[in-house]
Amino acid sequence: MVWRVNGQEKVLLPAADQLKFFGGDCYIFQYAYPGEDKEEYLIGTWFGKQSIEEERASAISLASKMVESTKFLATQAHIYEGSEPIQFYSIVQSFIVFKGGLSDGYKNSIAVKEIPDETYNEDGVALFRIQGSGPDNMQAIQLEAVASSLNSSYCYILYSGSTVFSWTGNLTTTEDQELVERQLDLIKPNSQSRPQKEGSESEQFWELLGGKAEYPSQKFARDAESDPHLFSCTLSKGNLKVTEIYNFTQDDLMTEDIFILDCHSDIFIWVGQQVDTKKKLQALTIGEVRSTK
């Protein structure tokens, strides 16, 4: 189940919309999976890049209450747009991130700042970058509908009304290209796209993007990640003491302590079963502090 946060409340999304997120909103999701002896639960929050601090705080509070209702047996996670761990994709498999937001908090925020509302409108011009490794891990991310949003390493879907284009970058693979049709079924059901190969685009394609412009066309190698780091966390009289554990093994995890496993792209919080309730509630805050280092 997935809820969108609206102010101090959470709104359950219809089944058809549970894989459609907006970058200006926050979401709470609950995932059940089989454990060794019984069903286990993961309760997570997803924060859009453009979401406001008040609704992020509200999402954390609402999710924490859900965890508390399970007597702290559920695992809790905080996920940020653009930094989703691979475990998140194994749960949602395919999801779409639209521009803008639907929550009252987001709408009020852009009104105060006098920022144009760019929230997705199915009747307007929309450009989506398609990414992922396969049918069980694919995403469509809405970008500004301009040529500079393109990248030769990706495939895209561009449409306006009934006119639909699929654009294939020269550095994409066959697997990348297969994801386009799958995502098109989710974004624009019952539509046929007009394929556009990089370098041989139609004039109408460029017109929808407001004309040609430069965009990234070189392939960049991904930097190799360093080894993970494990830290033990001690909370005493409101003070946090963090100690790194070197050459660690699973045996270093103690049931009365809290640990941070920093994998660079992902940060995991491990909370022992004997940690008291107050410290359990502080565990995710510890992880957020670490993620800003």
What does residue 59 show for φ and ψ, rounded to 5 degrees? -60, -45
CA-nearest of 8, 87, 13, 81 to 47 is 81
Residue predicted with more confidence, 262 or 6 = 6
Bin 249: left if φ > 0, else alpha if -120 < ψ < 50, else beta.
Answer: beta
Q: At what angle do helices 104-113 and 53-69 cross, to 10 degrees?
A: 160
Same domain, residue pair 235 and 193: no
Most confidently modeled of 41-45, 50-54, 132-136?
Answer: 50-54
269 and 189 within one domain: no
Q: Based on the domain organization, do 76 and 134 belong to the same domain? A: no
Q: What is the tally of structural domains in the chain?
A: 3
For the whole model, what pTM was predicted? 0.75
The residues, any chain, with a CB within 8 Å of residue 154's CB and separated by 6 or more, are 129, 130, 131, 169, 172, 176
Q: What is the pLDDT of residue 281?
A: 62
Place of tokens 């907006």: 22
Q: What's the sign of the alpha-carbon dihedral 199, 202, 205, 206?
A: positive
Q: Are residues 202 and 145 part of one domain?
A: yes
282 band by pLDDT with thresholds 50, 70 and 90: low
Q: Among residues 164, 92, 90, which one has the least CA distance to residue 128? A: 164
C-beta separation of 26 from 51 below 8 A: yes
Q: Mean pLDDT throughout 270-283?
A: 71
Average pLDDT along the chain: 85
Q: Show the tokens assigned to 117.
A: 């509302």
Q: What is the CATH number of the domain that holds 79?
A: 3.40.20.10
Same domain for 234 and 200: no
Say if residue 273's pLDDT is above 80: no
Final residue before a domain boundary, out of 91, 113, 134: 91
User: What's the token pair of residue 89?
Assistant: 């994709």
The pLDDT, as a whole number, for residue 78 is 86
Average pLDDT estimate for 144-156: 95
**Residue 179 falls inside a structural domain:** yes
**pLDDT, tens only, 157-184:** 999 988 999 999 999 988 888 899 889 9
Six-digit token string for 80: 């940020």
Domain ranges, residue 65: 2-91
11 vs 41: which has the higher pLDDT: 11
9 and 84 together in one domain: yes
